[in-house]
Amino acid sequence: MSERRVYVDHAATSPILPEVIEVVAETMATLGNPSSLHAAGRQARKLVEESRETVAAAFGAGPSEVVFTSGGTEADNLAVKGLYWSRRAADPRRVRILASAVEHHAVMDTVQWLGDAQGAEVEWLPVDRNGRLDLDAYSAAVRRDPESVALVAVMWANNEVGTVQPMGEITAVAHEHGIPVHSDAVQAAGQVPIDFSASGLDTVTISAHKLGGPIGVGALLVRRDVTLTPVQHGGGQERDVRSGTLDAPSFAGFATAARAATRDVEPHMRRLSRLRDRLADGVTAAVPDAIRNAAGARTLPGIAHFSFPGCTGDSLLLLLDAAGVYCSTGSACSVGVSRPSHVLLAMGIADDVAQASLRFSLGRTSTPEDVDAVIEAIGPAVERARAAGLVDATWKNNR
Would residue 311 show up in a list of annotated catalytic residues for this protein? no
d(CA 153, CA 353): 28
Q: Which helix (H) or strand (E) holds 125?
A: strand 121-125
Other C-beta atoms lying within 10 Å of the C-beta of residue 67: 24
Q: Which helix (H) or strand (E) holds 280?
A: helix 265-286
Residues in the chain: 399
Pair type for strands 96-100 and 149-153: parallel
How is 287-314 classified by DSSP, letter by letter? STT-EETTTTS-B-TTEEEEE-TTS-HH
d(CA 269, CA 271): 6
Question: Of these residues, 39, 333, 350, 393, which one is catalytic?
Answer: 333
Terminal CA-CA length for the chain: 34
d(CA 360, CA 129): 19
* Rounded to 5°, angle at Cα 331 from 104 and 360: 90
Which residues are designated catalytic? Answer: 333
